[in-house]
Amino acid sequence: MKTIVLFFLAYLMVVIVAAGLGASQKTDLWPQWRGPSRDGQVPGPAWPTTLKGDALKLLWRVPLGPSYSGPIVVHDRVFVTETKDKSVEIVRALDRANGKELWQARWKGAVTVPSYAAGNGEWIRSTPAYDGESVYVAGMRDVLVCLEAASGKERWRVDFVARYETPVPPFGFVCSPLVDEDYVYVQAAAAFVKLEKRTGKILWRVLPYKSTANGTAVSSPIIATLAGKRQVLVQQPRVLAGVAPQSGDVLWSVPVPAFRTGNILTPTVYKDCVLTGAFGGRTLLVQIAKRDDKLEANTLWSINEQGYLSTPVIINGHAYMHLRNQRFACINLGTGKATWTSNKRFGRYWSMVAQKDLILSLDQEGVLRLFRANPKKMELLDARTISEEETWAHLAVADGRLFIRELHALAVYSWDQP
């Protein structure tokens, strides 16, 4: 009898652990910038190969103030930001099923951007991050706020300008927070910063640079393991670097020249390499290797094609990039050669996500496009205008739903096999 009881308890524990793993691997979340793995790759149900008719249907749409922040999607709610009257920043939690507001938090905050960038507005830009308990939101005046996800209650706030006496970023706080384990990483205070996520305590500040009227760092960091070393990849106004998460030591760095500090792309990982590009500069692939217990970075290739605003997606050794000249290109990562470049020019900006060999893009003009990733030719499967408003915010895809942040609304669509 005792043996039977012990066997039953052991079996029960296996079931409980398996259930817990299943819950942690659910595919219905979009918790941060560029998705669950921060690389634009989308798990979950297989995508349709059409955007027409009943395959793509509007479920609900909620008016909001202007914002370029991408929506954050969790099990029962969606988090969005907005700027009101050019003076107040607002975070809202909306019911995922119908868009009903569950709570809102707000604080004073706004910036006046340089005149040459004024056409893109002066509203909140950074995409928040969610860790299961809290939402981490960057305000334009270099402020990071931690909110309780269930209620919107403020847990802590860090004002980097007050703390370090650094200038207010001329384009605002653009970098999207990275949450990893018990920590938050951001480009703020004219540097790269690590904070304790439960308290907001700053643990280190590295790679300081001089903030200028032309801009500050706007690229969002990612975690990667390169040459066997886990590290945080960060692209600053003129340098790409790998940083040790624990100590803040700079493990390697390479210069990335750009016009007006225009290093905007999120670093994109391929094997032990990092792909990036710069406005007014070039696109390059940097390989990280271990030598004498240290890491070194070598540029494998550098090409004229400029990946400017739109972070690429990588599929089967090829990078699919929306370029500064508004063309779409496929780059062989082994050779650095473009296997094709579109004749057609598209919008100024794309947010792109991928699943297997399909790529979904949303441009700032409200046009949604579906491509097949084909290194031999551009293969456009379908296209559809989904908004009459600007759609600069990064699209989100979760559990067969598209979350589209229009300039003045959030629209949610079902995208299912017809």
Domains of the chain: 30-46+62-218 (2.40.128.630)
Question: What is the pLDDT of the chain when averaged over all its residues?
Answer: 91
Residue 317 has pLDDT above 80, yes or no: yes
CA 418 to chain centre: 30
Residue 393 has pLDDT above 70, yes or no: yes
Residue 4 has pLDDT above 50, yes or no: no
Residue 398 has pLDDT above 60, yes or no: yes
- Dump the DSSP string for 238-290: SEEEEE-TTT--EEEEEE---GGG---SPPEEETTEEEEE-TTS-EEEEEEEE
Residue 11 pLDDT: 39
* pLDDT tens, position by position, 203-258: 999 999 987 766 678 899 999 999 999 999 999 988 999 999 999 999 999 999 88
Q: What pTM value is reported for the model?
A: 0.92
* pLDDT tens, position by position, 70-95: 999 999 999 999 999 989 999 999 99
Three-class secondary structure of residue 350 per DSSP? strand
Three-class secondary structure of residue 37 per DSSP? coil
Nearest-angstrom CA–CA distance, 388 and 386: 7
* pLDDT tens, position by position, 110-134: 888 777 666 777 899 999 999 999 9
| Phi, psi angle pair for 223, to nearest 5° | -100, 135
Contact predicate 80/409, CB 8 Å = no
Closest listed residue to residue 328, CA positions, set 346, 316, 303, 349: 346
| Phi, psi angle pair for 14, to nearest 5° | -60, -45
Sign of CA dihedral 198, 399, 370, 302: positive
* pLDDT tens, position by position, 270-300: 999 999 988 888 899 999 999 998 999 999 9
Which pLDDT band holds residue 46 (cuts at 50, 70, 90)? very high
CA distance to 27, 31, 48, 148, per residue, from 22 (Å): 10, 17, 25, 25
Closest listed residue to residue 169, CA positions, set 138, 205, 132, 130: 138
Residue 153 pLDDT: 98
Sign of CA dihedral 331, 333, 334, 335: positive
